[in-house]
Chain A
């Protein structure tokens, strides 16, 4: 870990309805880290992610950025759904963050085209979202999140709605992008297999109220690939994380 990018201390979120979504979260996210937040539905994973993105405010505790607060474009966010503007082409969707930042249209388009090429969508610049498959839409969404070269990439169960084959491909593509560029990733998922395959660190969360139940460091050869997915080490770690997840859910019940 080179340095801390984001530090959470004693973070809690209570909704106006009185529901306590998360409580007592202490967490350091290191620069270049790949962190998975794993837990059942309703354990506050998404809430935590939104607080890190500053889309929601913590009602208790602090979220610090030791190297300076994020500016627009420092955080990329990938939602559960591709969340594209249906009226805009793939290129225009990806160029949006740059244009909102006031970049000249031509420069924004050039960088957006480059980002689309990085997610293997070169040639689809003029396609509208509805003409693309679910997996391709998600790639557009990832390209949009990466186009500003963010310091932190937040993903909220991005591949949950995709079929397994597409999900595996996108997992590998995300890993390849991360290996190449080493941005910091926080990845929310409810899949044990996905978290072990992707993340360097896994935080298992327990629900009601959402809190950190256990933390794991994943041991794996670099770079990871399909060989890791079928290895004994992978299976063993999945078992271990699974047990922790079951315990986290049992503890809540």
Chain B
């Protein structure tokens, strides 16, 4: 990729975004649309600056739950995938339940979890964890099972133990799969946290970004609602970029997926 291409890759979407924002602002102003129906980008930006205090506090709450849920999902997913790889019987018996957990809509079970679990933060954490868990488990399981059979033979030939095979062969093989799962789960954990906050927020006891959206809606402070929405999107993008960077740093020396961008040696 040349420098010109790279510049274009950043500039082109930026230009489109700027055009859309300009058009949006012009539409709102020329048509005289009231801010409680559709606020313009400027009004949203103003709300973001004005209400930065409570909004940033809420952002932190949501991010904390997302990060914690992702961390637990990653460690439990990895651990369970390793157990699956060691014992096919365990995989056969437990995997269907992981699928059930995945296909059950979080919106439907979030109210139950919030009722059952007294602690709000814990209930949010559980909801976010449920949606973030499966991609990591499923991807890592596939990764652990994709080990080159010739390499497995080689390890056998040299008398490697189960632990050595796991640590030196299966886990490194599974690494790109795990990281791909992590990138998917990062976004999902945020969505899970937001959904759970919405459900909990309807009951009036939450303080994350979704609660701010609900609150602003009730008070007809639509610019502030949009400002909270902007923060959620920004958080999602930030999480994705951070996990992509992590994946790139870990894989760039050897895996094809991290080679795009012309740093082939």
CB-CB < 8 A to A101: which residues of B? 158-159
A55 close to chain B: CB less than 8 A = yes
**Residues 164-214 of B at the A interface (beta carbon under 8 Å):** 164, 168-169, 172, 175
- A85-B253 contact given A53-B157, A75-B157, A101-B159, CB 8 Å threshold: no
B180 CB to closest chain A CB, in angstroms?
16
CB-CB < 8 A to B9: which residues of A? none
A131 close to chain B: CB less than 8 A = yes
CB-CB < 8 A to B148: which residues of A? 83
A87 contacts B154, CB within 8 Å? no
B172 contacts A85, CB within 8 Å? yes
A122 CB to closest chain B CB, in angstroms?
19
CB-CB < 8 A to A87: which residues of B? 172, 175, 253-255
CB-CB < 8 A to B255: which residues of A? 86-87
A69 CB to closest chain B CB, in angstroms?
12
A73 contacts B156, CB within 8 Å? no
Total CB contacts across the A-B interface at under 8 A: 55
A100 contacts B265, CB within 8 Å? no
Partner of B158, one of A72, A81, A130: A72
A210 close to chain B: CB less than 8 A = no
Partner of A100, one of B160, B253, B254: B160
B93 close to chain A: CB less than 8 A = no
A77 to B168, CA, bound (A): 19
A79 to B158, CA, bound (A): 14
- A131-B159 contact given A79-B150, A86-B255, CB 8 Å threshold: no
B46 close to chain A: CB less than 8 A = no
A72 contacts B253, CB within 8 Å? no
B150 contacts A83, CB within 8 Å? yes
A198 close to chain B: CB less than 8 A = no
- A77-B154 contact given A87-B172, A100-B160, A100-B164, CB 8 Å threshold: yes
A128 to B263, CA, bound (A): 14
Partner of A85, one of B153, B156, B169, B259: B169
Give chain B's interface residues, CB within 8 Å of chain A.
148, 150-151, 153-160, 164, 168-169, 172, 175, 253-256, 259, 265
Give chain A's interface residues, CB within 8 Å of chain B.
50, 53-55, 71-73, 75, 77, 79, 81, 83, 85-88, 96-97, 100-101, 128-131, 148
Contact sample, A vs B, 8 pairs, CB 8 Å cutoff:
A54-B157, A55-B153, A71-B159, A72-B157, A77-B153, A96-B168, A100-B155, A128-B254
